[in-house]
């Protein structure tokens, strides 16, 4: 059974909070959303779109549903919200990447019922296609941390190598703590995952962990694309890069920053050939600097795989 919640009407923008980062075991920067109605302080010239799937896993009662509600709707319900089957929530995030790219991410968050029998029954269905995992336990229940080993193992068998964060929820119940920092650290090291203590009740560090995972998914997607690009010919690399940049194009120095290891003469010769074929346009600035944009014909060739 799958329950679906309507996406929030607010778009969340990942940006630097300037606060101390709560995640242990990662160098990512913490981000949060702006206040309602607050305008963006900058415009990114290159907007890309990305659909992602994040799966929350862990025992019943650890607060998975409450974490999602806090992040997506900024709400908290004191009563225990039992998930029957799987609940799917959706939200749009804006994730800056580098100096001039803005990724508009449509994130689907799968909140899976914390019963072992259900986990074994549906793991192929609900873990398939996940680009990140959030393993959640309860700070006041040691057994909820111990159980994560099986949850994580079952998920990774399906997803393969994807970003994984260990989230220890109910930080607001510190006086009832049943898990030491050392126990959390050891569990995180086993799975090579950063960890964070959160509170769905107060909202502490909830934004940070979801947004950090979103940023890591974007970074990983770009890294994979760069790896694929490295295996292409110079001609294919140039056309694919320009098609993604659209009317913005690329300047001379940007070509050499991206196509490191390729000689200037080789890039220049390929650009000249592509211009003669009507696939790109070269605009010169003086005798030594230039910018290149792809033509409609060139963009069509890339889309049809004829580059």
Q: Domains (ranges, CATH) in the chain? A: 2-225 (3.40.50.300), 232-303 (1.10.10.10)
User: Residue 34: which region, alpha, beta or left (left: phi > 0; alpha: psi -120 to 50)?
Assistant: beta
How confident is the model at residue 52, as a pLDDT? Answer: 97
**Residue 31: both structure tokens together:** 């981000």
Residue-wise pLDDT for 56-93, tens only, equals 999 999 999 999 999 999 988 765 455 556 789 999 99
DSSP 161: S
Which 3 state secondary structure label does DSSP give 12? strand
Q: Which of 18-32, 42-56, 191-205 has the lowest mean pLDDT?
A: 18-32
How many alpha carbons lie under 13 Å from residue 200 in its C-beta half-sphere? 28
Query: How distant, in Å, are the alpha carbons of 50, 124, 196, 298 from that of 136?
Result: 25, 20, 10, 47
Asked whether the beta carbons of 195 and 24 are under 8 A apart, the reply is yes
Helix 264-276 and helix 234-245: axis angle, to 10°? 70
Residue-wise pLDDT for 165-187, tens only, equals 999 999 999 999 999 999 999 99
Asked whether the beta carbons of 51 and 88 are under 8 A apart, the reply is no
Q: How confident is the model at residue 256 (pLDDT cuts 50, 70, 90)?
A: confident
Query: How distant, in Å, are the alpha carbons of 106, 138, 166, 214 from that of 52?
Result: 6, 26, 19, 9
CA nearest neighbour of 207 among 84, 100, 69? 69
CA angle 50, 212, 8 (to 5 degrees): 60
Q: Say yes or no to pLDDT of 29 above 60.
A: no
What does the alpha-carbon distance between residue 271 and residue 33 come to, in Å, rounded to a whole number? Answer: 42
What does the alpha-carbon distance between residue 59 and residue 66 come to, in Å, rounded to a whole number? Answer: 13
Asked whether the beta carbons of 12 and 33 are under 8 A apart, the reply is yes
What does the alpha-carbon distance between residue 235 and residue 271 come to, in Å, rounded to a whole number? Answer: 8
Q: Which of 96-105, 192-201, 212-221 has the lowest mean pLDDT?
A: 96-105
How confident is the model at residue 85, as a pLDDT? Answer: 61
Q: How confident is the model at residue 12 (pLDDT cuts 50, 70, 90)?
A: low
Q: Say yes or no to pLDDT of 112 above 90.
A: no
Residue-wise pLDDT for 134-167, tens only, equals 999 999 999 999 999 999 999 999 999 999 999 9
Q: Average of pLDDT values for 194-222?
A: 96
Q: Where are the alpha helices (DSSP H) in 173-263?
A: 181-190, 206-230, 234-245, 252-258
Q: Say yes or no to pLDDT of 286 above 60.
A: yes
């Amino acid at each position: 059974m799958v329950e679906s919640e309507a996406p929030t009407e607010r778009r969340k923008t990942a940006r630097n909070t300037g606060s101390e980062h709560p995640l242990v075991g990662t160098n990512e920067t913490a981000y949060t959303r702006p206040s309602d109605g607050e305008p963006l302080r900058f415009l990114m010239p290159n907007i890309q779109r990305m659909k992602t799937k994040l799966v929350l896993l862990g025992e019943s009662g650890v607060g998975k549903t409450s974490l999602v509600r806090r992040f997506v709707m900024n709400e908290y319900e004191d009563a225990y919200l039992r998930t029957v089957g799987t609940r799917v929530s959706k939200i749009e995030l804006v994730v800056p990447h580098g100096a001039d790219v803005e990724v508009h991410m449509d994130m689907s968050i799968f909140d899976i019922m914390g019963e072992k029998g259900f986990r074994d029954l549906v793991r192929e269905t609900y873990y398939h296609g996940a680009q990140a995992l959030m393993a959640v336990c309860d700070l006041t229940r040691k057994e909820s941390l111990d159980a994560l080993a099986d949850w994580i193992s079952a998920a990774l068998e399906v997803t393969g190598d994807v970003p994984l964060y260990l989230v220890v929820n109910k930080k607001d119940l510190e006086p009832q703590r049943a898990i030491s920092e050392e126990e959390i650290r050891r569990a995180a090291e086993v799975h090579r995952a950063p960890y964070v203590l959160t509170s769905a009740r107060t909202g502490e560090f909830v934004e940070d962990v979801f947004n950090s995972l979103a940023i890591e998914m974007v970074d990983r997607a770009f890294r994979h694309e760069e790896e694929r690009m490295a295996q292409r010919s110079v001609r294919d690399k140039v056309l694919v890069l320009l098609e993604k940049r659209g009317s913005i194009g690329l300047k001379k120095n940007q070509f050499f920053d991206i196509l490191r290891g390729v000689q200037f003469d080789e890039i220049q010769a390929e650009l000249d050939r592509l211009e003669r074929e009507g696939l790109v346009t070269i605009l010169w600035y003086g005798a030594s600097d230039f910018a290149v944009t792809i033509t409609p014909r060139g963009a069509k060739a890339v889309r049809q795989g004829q580059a």
